[in-house]
Amino acid sequence: MKFQRILAALVGAIMLTALAVTASAQLPQNDPNKKIENSTLVFREKEAEKMPIVAGSNLYCAGYIQKGNISANIEIVGADDEKDQHIYAEGDYLYINAGSNNGVKKGDMYSVIRPRGKVKSNWTDKGSLGIFVQEVGALEVVNVKPEVAVARVKANCSVILFGDLVKPLVKRTSPMFQKRGPLDLFKDSSGKASGNIVMARDGAELLGREMIVYIDLGREDNVKVGDYLTIYRPLGTGNIYSKVTKESSLDNKEDGYESRRYRGGHFSNQTTRKKGSEAGGSTVTTEGAKSRRPNGLRKVLGEMVILNVMESTATAVIVRAASEIHTGDRVEVQ
């Protein structure tokens, strides 16, 4: 019986080995001399080159700062369900106070905007920059009467309200993704147009990637859609605290740091050096050391791309951030 069990085990092992060899023979074998191309990576890289930098709300609801007056001729004056609601979104039907008498046609597309007021900022030398216009959504006209038209909300980035203005929708094209090298954290100035981040969408102040900002560079500064700008600030600035202690209270002391028994040395490890070739002068301070460096040193914070250009301003999206970015930080065309 013991011999029979051993024989059965040997036969089973031989059969399993044969099956494994047969299955292996049926599988395609790699030719060691055949060059393997990473087609997946090549495909993804090519696809990335065709990818827009922004889409959706970051493209059509980015907002802008307009220098001139805003036309208030056409506005939202009614809604199909106004007895039950006062805020509106995608799928709702709204009335605008313009119809066939004003050239409105079925299928026309309109953008919904909400002027918020004049922009006042301490971060620009241009004075008045214009009126901040919030972009709220888009409408498609579905029914036209002589003096009014019914439009369906196709998309919205915020709630739509009675009194919001509408204007013909202008098609926008996003800048396309570019393959770029690592962000140069010590990039020198390009010498081109420079300005400031004066405001960000939704009142944000601490900024990062994919956030929408407004800068005080526009058509008058030859800024164009798709331009890349470096975000930076002068080296040593940007702290949110107005008073930061730079020198230790121990700096001017020379004694009291050694034990009474072993006398290991009376100098503090935290003191700065003393002036003079024999280190017998006054203590060197942080501000004193800074005064002996050249002007213009800066800290690179990130990168942005221009999405929309107006007279004196532009709307941009932050595409790379190496550090926290604030309103008031500087920008420069690359």
Model confidence pLDDT, tens digit, residues 175-209: 998 888 999 999 999 999 999 999 999 999 999 99
pLDDT at 129 over 60: yes
Main-chain phi, psi angles of 46, to 5 degrees: -65, -40
pLDDT, one tens digit per residue, over 15-42 is: 555 545 444 545 445 555 555 455 554 5
Say what the alpha-carbon torsion angle 317, 318, 319, 322 is, to the nearest 10 degrees: 180
- E-state strands within 18-130: 64-66, 76-79, 93-96, 109-118
Q: Which domain holds residue 69?
A: 57-168
Q: Are residue 79 and residue 121 in the same domain, yes or no? A: yes
User: How many domains does the structure of the chain reveal?
Assistant: 2
Q: Are residue 104 and residue 204 in the same domain, yes or no? A: no
Domain membership of residue 31 (yes or no) is: no
Domain membership of residue 318 (yes or no) is: yes
DSSP-derived 3-state class of residue 49:
helix
Q: Are residue 228 and residue 307 in the same domain, yes or no? A: yes
pLDDT band at 282 (very low <50, low <70, confident <90, very high): confident
DSSP-derived 3-state class of residue 285:
coil
Q: What is the pLDDT of residue 46?
A: 55
CATH assignment at residue 72: 2.40.33
pLDDT, one tens digit per residue, over 236-245 is: 888 766 665 5
Largest Cα span, the chain: 105
Q: Are residue 198 and residue 322 in the same domain, yes or no? A: yes
Q: Are residue 320 and residue 214 in the same domain, yes or no? A: yes
Question: 102 and 77 in contact (C-beta within 8 Å)?
Answer: no
Main-chain phi, psi angles of 10, to 5 degrees: -65, -40
Main-chain phi, psi angles of 169, to 5 degrees: -75, 125
Q: How does DSSP classify residue 10?
A: H
Q: Higher model confidence: residue 89 or residue 260?
A: 89
CATH assignment at residue 211: 2.40.30
CB atoms within 10 A of CB 304: 27
pLDDT at 119 over 60: yes
Domain membership of residue 50 (yes or no) is: no
Q: How does DSSP classify residue 266?
A: S
Q: Are residue 82 and residue 162 in the same domain, yes or no? A: yes
CA distance 316 to 63: 10
Q: Are residue 198 and residue 327 in the same domain, yes or no? A: yes
pLDDT, one tens digit per residue, over 50-109 is: 799 998 888 999 999 999 889 999 999 999 999 999 999 999 999 999 999 999 999 999
CA distance 19 to 25: 10
CA angle 205, 208, 211 (to 5 degrees): 80
